[in-house]
């Protein structure tokens, strides 16, 4: 095992140069986080249009979103493990390189399969966030950790909402989706350059071998589960194909747990997944990811639904999706920079509970009131407040109870379950929308949207309850 210097040390508080360098590092990590979260949602406003362009349906086109989340769930613990082995900065550069490659593939794509392949490559960059948090813990002085982690974590929600707006502006000028992916490729290059010139490759290194078997089993069980959920309405919930997929997912899950318990250096350390303090943090993360990523796809589709033809929706353009999201993006940005102070006073668990409650209120509002533009504005204000506070607090909660040497993998596991929650949300909502359609059309009914909004609301409120319980059980920790 080899090690390197950890952070700027005591001199950081008195030497201006380390302070400037830390600021540049944080800026570069935020830029990379913005690009990663932007690529996760940049395709969402285009989905209704691409249903026609790619000759598919809601269930099929949703895989353009779900595929990225799925590969993100698998790559996050794997690249986090590589980060602990070889250094976090090189793995950040790998993540950004895969994002750029996937963007270029999508920029040339002309079929659903090629788009899905490109999106899968883009999705591997989800590992950037836990790697960035690991870099912060390796380089920043202790008194600045909470604030810095909160800012980087908050970029997830900000970038996601900005992605909707950017796509709307581009789509307002062209029917061609390819420029959106050229944009993410270019931004990825800029972020990679910033990381290369500013971040240091510090922190303790650990030897060993990556758990490729664990990664393969995790990918298999997630694909089986999500495919079964998304295809249930089409194939029939009681069909042999769907039941077989669920059975395969269950068997692979059992095998994966056995492998992770026996392998010397597992992909996912189960004690960091289901340990006394880790379990509640990870459950809250999964539920909040379920609510957040699910809401992005639902809201985008709902806004673009033509009210004059189907009796509901806001008859908005792709650009309108982004414009409605401006309050959310602004509030996410505002709270991502201030949540660190709140968490320092009342603790990240209680802070997460507050944020999750606001997110739950956002979806609850749309469950009961969704006929007017102001309903969407109110929902986005609540959403921006909730996810801005919630995600900033989540980054700290995930790593505060683990040793510094395990911060990368702990953050990676938390990101894994959050991304897995989001991919399940995509499959669940696509299943509901495709199962309940207006007669002789492929357009979902209003009741299908209402049911989906309600389910996402329950997920967010569930995250609030879990976070509150965590805070009560672990006072002083």
3-state secondary structure 75-91: HHHHHHHHHHHHCHHHH
**Phi then psi dihedrals of residue 29, to 5 deg:** -65, -40
With respect to residue 461, please indicate whether it lies within any of the assigned structural domains: yes
| Nearest of 349, 382, 386, 350 to residue 366 by alpha carbon | 382
Burial of 372 (0-12, 13-18, 19+ CB in 10 A): exposed
Q: Are residues 247 and 312 in the same domain?
A: no
Q: What is the pLDDT of residue 415?
A: 76
Sort residue 5 into left (φ over 0), alpha (ψ -120 to 50) or beta. beta
Stated length of the chain? 477
DSSP state letters, 124-156: GGGGHHHHHHHHHHHHS-HHHHHHHHHHHHHHH
| 136 shares its domain with 35 | yes
- The reply to whether 69 and 134 lie within a common domain is yes
Tell me the two tokens of residue 257: 């747990």
275 and 244 housed in the same domain = no
Q: Identify the three-state secondary structure at position 59.
A: helix
Q: Residue 437: beta bridge partners?
A: 444
**CA–CA distance, 377 with 373 (Å, rounded to integer):** 6
pTM recorded for the entire structure: 0.78
E-only strand ranges, 120-264? none
Per-position DSSP letters for 427-446, written without gaps between them: HHHHHHHHHSB-TTSSPBPH
Whether 342 contacts 351, CB under 8 Å: yes
CATH of the domain at 289: 1.20.1250.20
pLDDT recorded at residue 447: 96
Do the domain assignments include residue 5? no
Instruction: pLDDT tens for the chain, 477 residues: list them.
Output: 334 434 444 334 445 556 777 888 888 888 888 888 888 778 888 888 888 889 887 778 888 888 888 888 888 888 888 887 888 889 999 999 999 999 999 999 999 999 999 999 999 998 888 888 888 888 888 777 777 877 787 676 677 777 777 888 888 888 899 999 999 999 999 999 999 988 877 765 666 678 889 889 988 998 898 888 877 777 888 889 989 999 999 999 999 999 999 988 887 778 777 777 788 888 998 999 899 888 988 998 899 999 999 999 999 988 898 889 888 888 887 887 788 788 888 989 999 999 999 999 999 999 999 999 999 999 999 999 999 899 878 877 877 777 766 666 677 777 778 888 888 888 889 889 988 999 888 889 999 999 999 999 999 999 999 999 998 987 755
Sign of the dihedral through C-alpha 222, 224, 226, 227: positive
Which of 228, 244, 264 terminates a domain? The answer is 264
Q: Which backbone phi and psi does 105 adopt, to 5 degrees?
A: -60, -45
175 and 195 both lie in a single domain = yes
In whole angstroms, give the CA distance from residue 94 to residue 86: 12
312 shares a domain with 399: yes
Tokens 């990676």 belong to residue: 412
Distance CA 390, CA 348 (A): 9
Distance in angstroms (rounded) separating the CA atoms of residues 430 and 309: 21
What total of structural domains would you count in the chain? 2
Instruction: Report the distance separating Cα 356 and Cα 292, nearest Å.
Output: 10
Calpha distance 126→35 (Å, rounded): 10
Q: How far apart are CA 229 and CA 7, in angstroms?
A: 45
Task: Tell which residue, 141, 138, 142, 153, has the closest CA to residue 30.
Answer: 153
pLDDT of residue 407: 63
In a domain, 10, yes or no: no
The reply to whether 136 and 215 lie within a common domain is no
Question: Residue 72's domain spans which residues?
Answer: 16-210+265-473
Considering the domain architecture, whether residues 245 and 303 belong to the same structural domain is answered as no
**Does 270 lie in the same domain as 259?**
no
Note whether 256 and 271 are same-domain residues: no
Q: What share of the chain is helix, strand, coil (3-state, %, to 5)?
A: 80, 0, 20
In a shared domain, residues 187 and 228: no
Q: Is residue 4 part of a domain?
A: no
CB neighbour list of residue 22: distance below 8 Å, 6 or more residues apart: 8, 12, 139, 140, 144
Residue with tokens 């329950």: 458
Residue 4 confidence (pLDDT): 40
Residues 111 and 246 in one domain: no
In the beta sheet, which residues pair with residue 265?
none
End-to-end CA distance of the chain: 30
């Amino acid at each position: 095992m080899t090690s390197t210097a950890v952070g700027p040390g005591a001199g950081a508080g008195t030497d201006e140069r380390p302070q400037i360098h830390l600021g540049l590092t944080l800026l570069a990590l935020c830029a990379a986080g913005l690009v990663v979260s932007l690529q996760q949602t940049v395709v969402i406003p285009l989905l209704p249009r691409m249903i026609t362009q790619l000759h598919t349906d809601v269930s099929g086109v949703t895989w353009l979103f779900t595929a990225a989340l799925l590969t993100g769930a698998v790559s996050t613990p794997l690249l986090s493990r590589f980060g602990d082995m070889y250094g976090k900065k090189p793995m950040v550069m790998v993540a950004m390189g895969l994002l750029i490659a996937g963007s270029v593939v999508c920029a040339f794509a002309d079929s659903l399969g090629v788009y899905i392949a490109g999106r899968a490559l883009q999705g591997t960059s989800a590992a950037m966030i836990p790697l960035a948090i690991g870099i912060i813990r390796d380089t920043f002085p202790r008194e600045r950790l909470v604030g810095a982690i909160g800012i980087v974590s908050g970029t997830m929600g900000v970038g996601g909402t900005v992605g909707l707006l950017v796509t709307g502006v581009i789509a307002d000028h062209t029917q061609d989706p390819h420029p959106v992916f050229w944009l993410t490729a270019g931004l990825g290059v800029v972020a990679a350059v910033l990381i290369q010139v500013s971040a240091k490759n510090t922190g303790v290194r650990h030897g060993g071998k990556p758990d490729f078997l664990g990664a393969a089993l995790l990918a298999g069980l997630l694909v089986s589960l999500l495919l079964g959920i998304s295809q249930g309405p089409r194939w029939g919930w009681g069909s042999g194909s769907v039941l077989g997929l669920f059975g395969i997912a269950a068997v692979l899950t059992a095998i994966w747990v056995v492998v992770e318990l026996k392998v010397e250096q597992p992909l996912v350390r189960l004690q960091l997944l289901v340990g006394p303090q880790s379990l509640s943090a990870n459950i809250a993360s999964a539920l909040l990811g379920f609510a957040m990523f699910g809401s992005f796809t639902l809201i985008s589709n709902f806004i673009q639904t033509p009210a004059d033809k189907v009796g509901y929706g806001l008859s908005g353009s792709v650009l309108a999706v982004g414009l409605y999201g401006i309050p959310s993006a602004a509030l996410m940005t505002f709270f991502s920079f201030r949540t660190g102070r709140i968490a320092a006073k009342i603790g990240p668990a209680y802070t997460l509970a507050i944020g999750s409650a606001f997110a739950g209120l956002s979806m609850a509002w749309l469950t009961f009131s969704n006929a007017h533009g102001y309903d969407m504005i109110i929902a986005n204000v609540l959403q921006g407040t909730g996810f801005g506070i919630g995600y900033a607090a989540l980054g700290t909660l995930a790593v505060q109870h683990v040793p510094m040497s395990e911060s990368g993998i702990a953050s990676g596991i938390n990101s894994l379950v959050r991304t897995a929650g989001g991919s399940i949300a995509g499959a669940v909502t696509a299943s509901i929308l495709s199962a309940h359609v207006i007669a002789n059309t492929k357009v979902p009914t209003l009741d299908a949207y209402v049911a989906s909004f309600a389910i996402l609301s329950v997920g967010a409120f569930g995250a609030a309850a879990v976070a509150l319980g965590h805070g009560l059980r672990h006072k002083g920790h």
